[in-house]
Structures are given as structure tokens and as C-alpha cells.
Amino acid sequence: MINRIISIAVLLIAVALVSCKKDNNDSNTLGGDTNIDLTKVDSVSGVYAQLDGGSSVSVDIKVKSNNNGEVTYTGTLDLLSLPADLQSKALEIYNDHGDYYEASKYVTLTPDMKLNFEFTVRITSEGYMDYFTNDEPWVMVKYNDPEGTKYTVTNKNGETLTRTVTEKTGQDDWPYGFFYIKTSKVEQEVASDDPLLASISYRANHKFGLVYLEYNFLDGTTLEIDLFPWFLF
């Protein structure tokens, strides 16, 4: 695996996954080719975030390394450059709920209000898998899986959390930049004790990878995140 204030994205992805441990589920494996254009070292993608449809804020993320599909991304977000609403949301997540989401594993806040982040996900020609759950794997999506496919884990409270492929039309119907692409939509349950989130959904494409994330907060606000690997266009 976090339109995007990427740092917010990272924290929010962690939000849904942290405090979980892997279920004994054979679906939590990911094969495929690890030498793909999307994850070449030094490749830079643009991330664009909007809170409740407000002004878009962008940040770049860079592939630091790719070790047989284990892809490490890095980036920096200057909080002082953000609109007040996004700055407030980022600080709320980091300061008030950072421990719950184990944010310190992925993000650090400097004295001059910069969020530096580094995280590793597995990305192959088959799909995406993250390690935000006690460093254990949990499949985000496999591009060839049909609608209705589920990927599950059991959290420390004994809850089974599920990611479900809820839409896969096979048509170029998702607006992406200057054209339309095919996507798989995945909806994810969040833990019952999650302090911020009501729901999470995202979309992925076999060429461009993870292209969209949506986080719906308990306070009624929505963060939308678009990701563009411009070097593939």
C-alpha cells in the first residue's frame, strides 16, 4: 500500500489495518511478476487529496527500493503548506490517534511541521498486499479476482475484518486523468473500536495499480485520494 495527502493516506490505510493479525487464510498470498514498470526504483507518482470536495492538495511519493516485489515508498509533506481543514485532519490523526494506528511505524513529524513517511507494500503483476497489520500480509486486491471475492483477517479483539471486491464491470468506465480505465472496487470493514473511520473503499487497475481511495469518517467528512503514476502515461 497512503488524493492525496500521502501522509494522510498512509495513516488512514493504517487506520483500517492496525491492531489486526493475520487470519489463517490462503488468500493472503500474492504471486505474479515483480519486475513491472509501476514499481521501478526512483519512479515518482503524484498523490492528490480532497477533504469534502475542497481544494486538491498534492504530494509526490517515490519508490525507494523494490526487493522482489517488496516495494518501499518515501515522501515528505509540509503541513504548513496545507489548507486549514486538511492540516487539522492530519494533526488529529497523528496526535490524537497515532498510537491506535501505530503511525510511528510509518510516519514521523519534525519540529518544523513536516511529515516524513516510509512504508512497504507488496506489488506485483497480480495485485497489491500490505503489511500494516502487525507486519503480517493482507491482500488488498488481485486484479483477476471476480466480484464477490473476499480477503479476511481477524483482529486482536476477535473480529473478522473483510475486504470485498464489490464492483468489477470489465468496462473502461472509471474517469482517470484524460481517459477512462477498468477498475476493481474493494470495500473494507473497519474495526468496531476504530476511533475515526466509518468505512474505506478503493479502486485498482492492472496497469496503474491503486488509483483511488475513499475514507469516510465518523464525523461525516470524506477524504478522497487519487494516485497517478505519471511516468506510465
Contacts of 135 (CB under 8 A, 6+ apart): none
Contacts of 207 (CB under 8 A, 6+ apart): 38, 181, 232
> How does residue 8 score in pLDDT terms, banded at 50, 70 and 90?
very low
> How does residue 26 score in pLDDT terms, banded at 50, 70 and 90?
low
Q: Output the pTM of the full model.
A: 0.86
Q: Report the CATH number that the domain containing residue 90 is assigned in CATH.
A: 2.40.360
C-alpha–C-alpha distance, residues 55 and 52, integer Å: 9
C-alpha–C-alpha distance, residues 214 and 28, integer Å: 23
Q: Among residues 85, 86, 68, 64, which one has the least CA distance to residue 77?
A: 86
> What pLDDT, in 10s, does the model give residues 70-106?
999 999 999 999 888 888 888 988 999 999 888 999 9
Q: Assess if residue 92 is contained within a domain.
A: yes
When the pLDDT of each residue in the chain is averaged and rounded to a whole number, the result is: 88
C-alpha cell at 13: 490505510
CB 134 within 8 A of CB 22: yes
Q: How many domains does the chain have?
A: 1
pLDDT at 158: 82
Q: Assess if residue 165 is contained within a domain.
A: yes
C-alpha–C-alpha distance, residues 4 and 130, integer Å: 18
What DSSP string describes 81-127? Answer: GS-HHHHHHHHIIIIIHHHHHTGGGTEEE-TTSEEEEEEEEEE-SSE
Q: Is the pLDDT of residue 24 over 90?
A: no
C-alpha–C-alpha distance, residues 69 and 137, integer Å: 13
Q: Assess if residue 10 is contained within a domain.
A: yes
> What pLDDT, in 10s, does the model give residues 100-111?
888 999 999 999
Q: Assess if residue 1 is contained within a domain.
A: no
pLDDT at 63: 98
pLDDT at 2: 40
Q: Assess if residue 130 is contained within a domain.
A: yes
Expressed in percent and rounded to 5, the helix, strand and coil fractions of the chain are 20, 45, 35
pLDDT at 136: 76
C-alpha cell at 156: 486482536
Q: Assess if residue 103 is contained within a domain.
A: yes
User: Domain of 199?
Assistant: 6-232
